[in-house]
Amino acid sequence: MKRKTIAVLGGGISGYGSAILARKKGFEVWLSDAGRIAERFKERLDAWQVPYEEGGHTEERILSADEVVKSPGIPETAPIVRKIRERGIPVISEIEFAGRYIGRAKCICITGSNGKTTTTSLIYKIMRDAGMNVALGGNIGESFAYSVATGEYDWYVLELSSFQLDGMYDFRAHIGILTNITPDHLDRYDHCFQNYVDSKMRIMQNQTSRDWFVFSGDDEVIWEQLPKHDIRARRLPFAAKNGVASGDGDAFLLDGKFTATAGKRSVEIDTAQMRIRGLHNAYNAMAAALATLAAGVEPDSIRQSIYDFAPVEHRLEPVVERGGVLWINDSKATNVDSVYYALESMTRPVVWIAGGTDKGNDYGPLKDFVRAKVRTLVCMGLDNAKLEREFDGIVPRIVSTSTLDAAMRAAREAARAGDVVLLSPACASFDLFKNYENRGELFKAWVAENA
């Protein structure tokens, strides 16, 4: 009998993990990447004797596969994907593929436009601190598929992008978390916000009455969507502005404290004792507390872990304070909503570094904060015209630059004692940098040498 063949598109973290899992499960597997595959991934593929190619696709080999596992970074518009679709070959995500082989293990899945990484990292810390047998994966940490192939875990904590959700059909989140929905990645969704919203709402598909759905009660988009869906899971809303209540549990922030309740168990958190600051992080902590209560972690353990949790790299990460000027790396803020929360949490005058590849941004929601808090806007990108136009007359001073060094020098010159220099771009990084991590690392390196 002929073995089922699996083609894996993309040789990054998602791709190599999927290929290794396919190999372990006895499939005929072939990995293909149109670009270059990192040496560390090649070493693992070689160790597992997985055949692969880079620098282009051997179409006949891919198009003869029974199923294709597509990396989330590859758009549906890619020519090879269109050809796969035309042949009627099923295309799934790494998450869908790996989810078939987790046995009795359970998954906590986190999605949303913002807050995913912090919430995911916090949940993972809470569960690990509690002594649970847990793996971290999805958009951060190790490949989910690689963890399934090489370990035995009771829980998987997975950060999921909309692209990963798009390729999920039978996969089920035992605890699904939706932090918020704001416009992002519209270039991948035909510039239609509803298409993007529909992707995010897939977090609850296949959930049963034994599962849990954690979501923001302050997010109007989510509230509008809820009546359109047959939600079978137990609901756990969290909020700071709207009155929310659920018979299954909830969390509400009042006067800097919140009580999270899931079923019969509760934990109270004083946000003043948290190391991560700002309203957005209170939301993240509420979501994490609800999810981990639902997973069976003891309240005292949850409280201690939340208080111990340090800021995530590239997300409102204080770098250094010199000469009375605090430099903050918020390179992960690649959309308007992220910058909104960043500016909201600022308590000092701001020199704001922004710009990059615009994803169809509407800067309107930022204008009140910018008017009140930002003294100088330093634009850093190959095309700054939209930023300059949007904030002309709102910011006292706008400086346009096209390199990191020029932007940093302009920010240093503009900053006075008592100010914050905030890198919070609101845009993708691809015009000048490899990715937001690269942008953040270069920012920190410049600050270390020149601030």
DSSP 373-436: HEEEEEEESS--HHHHHHHBTTBSEEEEESSHHHHHHHHHHH--TT-EEEE--SSBSTTTSSSH
- Tell me the backbone φ, ψ of residue 235, rounded to 5 degrees: -95, 135
The C-alpha torsion from 270 through 276 and 282 to 284, rounded to 10°, is -130
SS3 content of the chain, % helix, strand, coil (to 5): 40, 25, 40
C-beta separation of 90 from 7 below 8 A: no
C-beta separation of 69 from 22 below 8 A: yes
Retrieve residue 122's tokens. Answer: 């916090």
Please give the CATH superfamily to which domain 317-450 belongs: Mur ligase, C-terminal domain (3.90.190.20)
Strands (E), 160-206: 175-178
**Longest CA pairwise span in the chain (Å):** 74
pLDDT of residue 26: 96
Q: Over its length of 451 residues, how does the chain's per-residue pLDDT go in tens digits?
A: 668 999 999 998 899 999 999 999 999 999 999 988 988 899 999 999 999 999 999 999 999 999 999 998 888 889 999 999 999 999 999 999 999 999 999 999 999 988 888 899 999 999 999 999 999 998 887 899 999 999 999 999 999 988 889 889 999 999 999 999 887 656 667 777 888 888 899 999 999 999 999 999 999 999 999 999 999 999 999 999 988 878 899 999 999 999 999 999 999 999 999 988 888 899 999 999 999 999 999 999 999 999 999 877 888 888 988 999 999 999 999 888 889 878 987 888 999 999 998 878 889 989 999 999 999 999 999 889 999 999 999 999 999 999 999 999 999 999 999 999 999 999 988 888 989 999 999 999 999 999 8
pLDDT digits (tens, 9 = 90+) for 208-248: 999 999 999 999 999 999 999 999 999 999 999 988 878 89
pLDDT of residue 72: 85
Task: State the residue for tokens 């997985």.
Answer: 50
Residue 307: name the closest of 341, 268, 346, 365 by CA: 268
C-beta separation of 19 from 70 below 8 A: no
| Partner residues linked to 158 by β-bridges | 109, 137
DSSP state of 67: E
| Partner residues linked to 326 by β-bridges | 321, 420
Residues 6+ apart with CB under 8 A from 230: none
Retrieve residue 226's tokens. Answer: 């809820």
pLDDT of residue 167: 87
Options 3.40.50.720, 3.40.30.10, 3.30.70.260, 3.90.1170.50; which CATH number does 5-92 get? 3.40.50.720
pLDDT of residue 184: 64
**What are the boundaries of each domain within the chain?**
5-92, 96-308, 317-450
CATH fold for the domain made of 96-308: UDP-N-acetylmuramoyl-L-alanine:D-glutamate ligase (3.40.1190)
pLDDT of residue 1: 64
Give CA–CA dist 255/270, Å, rounded.
9
pLDDT of residue 346: 85
55 three-state secondary structure: coil
pLDDT of residue 186: 65
Retrieve residue 271's tokens. Answer: 């946000």
